[in-house]
Every structure is written in structure tokens, then in C-alpha cells.
Amino acid sequence: MMELSALHERILAIIGDRTYRSISQITDQNSETVRRYLLGQAPSVDFLVALCNRFDVNAHWLITGQGAMKYSETMTEALRSANPAELLSAVADALERLTDRMDRLEVFVQTLDVRVRSVGMASRQASAIAASSTGTPSGGQGQQRQSAGPNRNGSGILPEGGSPNAASAPTASSAHKRARRIADALPKRPPETSA
């Protein structure tokens, strides 16, 4: 029989009185391989990862014996053992990342708002152009159309210039340009870094 290392003792502490067969099913390993691991042979990485995942074991503790045994307790342990300077640095880093994400989100929302408004303006402009090209019949129906037209000011009167789309054309064009500028200026999301 091989002499058990500290790693093997920690593995035995994790599995308790479970049989080789039950551990082999949990870790997806052959039961003979599990027996050799538990008797002192160096375990595979796959075996250790499976143990950590199944039993909520902190991999750092399993390998080194340091820190909290349970993965769910690592945050509490880290906060308990960290000094104030480390904690403040971590909080500052988190706030910086959060601020950066909020800035990108704000630019995105502004871009989306401008695009939605410009599409609405373009739609209203196209409707007004279509209505003016078909002509307005004289009489009561014409008066009704004039008061309900999309490019009227609050009083139902055509804007200066007499054209139903005179007021909206420059605005729609400038809105499209502004939307394009914002979209071009939208910062690209940096790749996620694994912590």
C-alpha cells in the first residue's frame, strides 16, 4: 500500500464512507481506478474536478489545504482574511467596471432612442408625401384630412413652406445623421477576462 499524501487525506475526508462504486459513478471513473486513487496513486485532474463539482469543494483547498473547504464558503473566507486595503481595491475595481458598463449602456440606449425616433419621423414623412402626391379632394373630406394630417402643428395648419413634409424633412435627415454618429461612436465591448 502506498503512503497517503495530504491530498489523499483530503480526498478521503470529502468522500467519507462512500464505496468505490458510488465514487466511480459520481466521478465517471472506473471503480478500480477510483480504488487506486484512494489508496495513494496520484489522481487525475478529471477525478479531482468531478469531486469538487459534486461535493461543493473548493479546488484551492483540495490541492493546497488552504482556505475554506466548501466552495460556497470561499467568499466569506476571503472577506474574513482580506486586509482593508485589498477590500477597498476590489471595491474600486468593481465600481470602475460597473461605471464603464453603465456608460456603454447609456450610449446604446441613446442610439436606440434616436433610431426609433428617426424611423418614426421617416414613416410620418413618407405618409405625408404619399398623401400630398395623391392630392386632396375638395369639400368636407379635404378639410377633414387637413386637420388630421401627420405634419401639422397643434392648430392643424400646414407649417411654413406649404408642404406637408417641409418641417420634418430636415429633422429626419439630421436625426439619421446623429443616429449614425452615435452608432459609430459606440464603444466595442472589451472581451471578458476570466478572473
Sign of CA dihedral 90, 92, 93, 98: positive
Cα–Cα distances (Å) from 22 to 31, 41, 192, in that order, read 8, 19, 38
- 57 touches 69 (CB < 8 A): yes
For residue range 121-135, what is the model confidence (pLDDT) as tens digits? 888 888 888 877 776
**pLDDT of amino acid 138:** 44
182 has a pLDDT exceeding 70: no
DSSP notation for 62-89: HHHS-S-SBGGGHHHHHHHHS-HHHHHH
pLDDT band at 72 (very low <50, low <70, confident <90, very high): confident
Average pLDDT over residues 40-60: 92
For residue range 20-45, what is the model confidence (pLDDT) as tens digits? 999 999 999 999 999 999 998 999 99
Dihedrals phi, psi of 57, to nearest 5 degrees: -100, 135
**pLDDT of amino acid 89:** 85
pLDDT band at 66 (very low <50, low <70, confident <90, very high): confident
Average pLDDT over residues 65-72: 84
Cell 471503480: give the residue. Answer: 31
**pLDDT of amino acid 53:** 92
**pLDDT of amino acid 81:** 74
58-67, 152-161, 186-195: which has the highest mean pLDDT? 58-67
The C-alpha angle with vertex 79 and arms to 78 and 84, in degrees rounded to 5, equals: 120
User: In angstroms, how far is CA 160 from the centroid of its own chain?
Assistant: 48
Average pLDDT over residues 144-172: 46
